[in-house]
Amino acid sequence: MTGNTSELTTLQQQARTRHEIEAAITTMFAAEDEGLRSALELAKQAGLPQIQISPIQGKFLQLLATMCNAHKILEIGALAGYSGIWLARALPPGGRLISLEVNPEHANVVRNSFARAGVGDRAEVRVGKALDLLPQLESEAPFDLVFIDADKPPYPQYLEWALRLSRPGSIIVADNCIRSGKAFREPEDEAMAGIVEFNRRIASDPRLVSLALAMDDDYTDGFAIAVVKQIILRNG
Ligand code: SAH
Ligand code: DHB
Ligand code: MG
């Protein structure tokens, strides 16, 4: 293999094209600023796993939050605050992001990252298991947008909570809902079982209009997205 374009197989050319498209979209529409880069740097220094969403996904979250005029956003799974920064930046003055994180060391990084990115006034991280913290959020609901990106086995329960804490018009988004197609097949482990069941529910719940969209990892992974219907039509 010489690396000569003429010797690349069709599959290799298609992979290269996908890669170039992703890079071009990132540069044109989803460039990271100092705050986002700093969050990644702090995460690296603290030895956190590099499993944050992509810049395109971050920009997409921002787009969705702006589309629904979000004032209150809930995130489940903060890691180092990277996705939280994209979301918090879509908030108007007085808006609020609450991000749930089970790992206190991650939460410390998040607080630093939020402060450095200039969103510390509107974004907060709460430490604990999401399923323990979610019941306490009922008095702060409804949320305009809920982003699910924590541990995978309880994804179906996170969907139930997202519905309970939302209103007609709210947007629900979850990461890792494609997983190279594993998210639509018979699950091989507990994590995939959670995602497969989540997809089944979000796709068929009569209260929701939903879609899974490939946009990450060379278009092999991505979000499932739903909006809570204003009116539930019998056949729509
Ligand atoms: N949304 C982040 C990535 C999240 S990674 C971003 O894109 O920037 C998943 C995070 O969920 C990890 O930080 C992990 O500690 C956290 N997590 C795992 N199980 C959890 C639980 N039960 N409750 C809350 N957070 C959890
Ligand atoms: C993992 C978790 C994520 O949320 C993700 O986007 C990628 C990987 C993981 O636990 O391995
Ligand atoms: Mg994820």
Q: Is 103 in the pocket of ligand 1 (CB under 6 A)?
A: yes
Extended beta strands in the chain, E state:
72-76, 96-101, 123-127, 145-148, 171-174, 208-216, 221-228
Please answer whether residues 80 and 43 qualify as being in contact, where contact means their C-beta atoms are separated by less than 8 angstroms. yes
What is the C-alpha to C-alpha distance for residues 61 and 88, in angstroms, rounded to an integer? 10
- Residue 30: predicted pLDDT: 98
The residue with tokens 């956003």 is: 73
At 232 the pLDDT is: 79
pLDDT tens per residue, range 60-88: 999 999 999 999 999 999 999 999 999 99
Q: Which residues surround ligand 3, an ion (CB under 5 A)?
A: 149, 175-176
Q: Which atom of ligand 2 is nearest to the CA of 221?
A: 6
* 154 Cα distance to chain centroid: 15
Quote the strand ranges of 37-112, DSSP E.
Answer: 72-76, 96-101
Spatial CB neighbours of 161, under 8 Å, sequence gap ≥ 6: 130, 131, 134
Residues of the chain predicted below pLDDT 70: 1-6, 234-236
pLDDT on residue 4: 61
Is any ligand 1 atom within 6 A of the Cβ of residue 77?
Answer: yes
Distance CA 213, CA 182 (A): 14
Does ligand 1 lie within 6 Å of residue 124's CB atom?
A: no
pLDDT for 8: 86
**Which ligand is in closest contact with the Cα of 147?**
1
